[in-house]
Chains A and B, each alone.
Chain A
């Protein structure tokens, strides 16, 4: 049976053609590690036995040397 988001493909419809100024912003795939450190996403494989909150806290502590101030998380599993 198919899962809700399985094989999801979103077609993009163009209303008009328009250029974007390369002076501002950055294509996500071209972001440097330094940029992603404070604007990124980690798919963390949490060990069993600790809370998601604790895992996020440990990750934050680890990343503090990189200048990370904030880490949030999503996807808490209530079994």
Chain B
């Protein structure tokens, strides 16, 4: 954040406190959403360093919060004006800078070591499992016999579910194998509690299939 005029530190700190919690903001003129006032939550806002008119801070916000706008509004509130200089995303969902961040250079080096030196170690560190990106989504684990039909887009019926986490009706749910591999993403037709108490019927509708067809075999129907 770059302030257009110097302000006293306590005033700046007061403004940061004022812009924490529920805030209202108008998306900027050039934005990908409709321009109407929206309520967003600022979970925390922490000043790291103040150097003259420059302020470095860390902020945790609800998705859809415009930081450039937040800074602009804080500048107006202070009466001096301010604009954003640089922004870095340090965290999103369950992923953060603490995970294995890979630069394009790292990736190039890792590929070089793999291709020319037959050394897999760097590449191993670079590429994670796709499941790690969706570990926050509630999930159901289905039997081996259910995997192939789901790969073909079939919904999951209650008898196919072996294990599950908590979710509501209508929620986004990950459909996993018993080995923990992602098969597809779907939408729950019933809540997890209903699934536990009901014996048959559709539980989760399959939306997007991730696993390749043929990973698991087609089992013959027994009846």
| Chain A residues within CB distance 8 Å of chain B | 1-5, 8, 10-16, 18-21, 24-29, 31, 33, 36-37, 39-48, 55, 58-59, 62-63, 65-66, 74-75, 77-79
Contact = CB atoms under 8 A, between A and B. Distances in A.
| Prevailing SS type, chain B contact patch | mixed
B84 interface: yes
A28 to B, nearest CB: 4
Given A25-B215, A39-B130, A47-B103, 11 more contacts: A15-B161, A15-B196, A16-B162, A20-B144, A20-B178, A42-B128, A55-B104, A63-B107, A75-B89, A77-B87, A78-B31
B128 A24 contact: no
A10 B171 CA distance: 15
B43 A3 contact: yes
A74 B208 CA distance: 16
B40 interface: no
Contacts of B124: 33
B199 to A, nearest CB: 10
A46 to B, nearest CB: 8
Given A13-B192, A27-B180, A65-B111, A41 B127 contact: yes
A60 to B, nearest CB: 11
Contact of B196 (A13, A41, A65): A13
Contacts of A59: 104, 107
Contacts of B32: 78
Contacts of B139: 10
Count chain B CB atoms within 10 A of each CB in A8, A43, A78 and give the residue with the most: A43
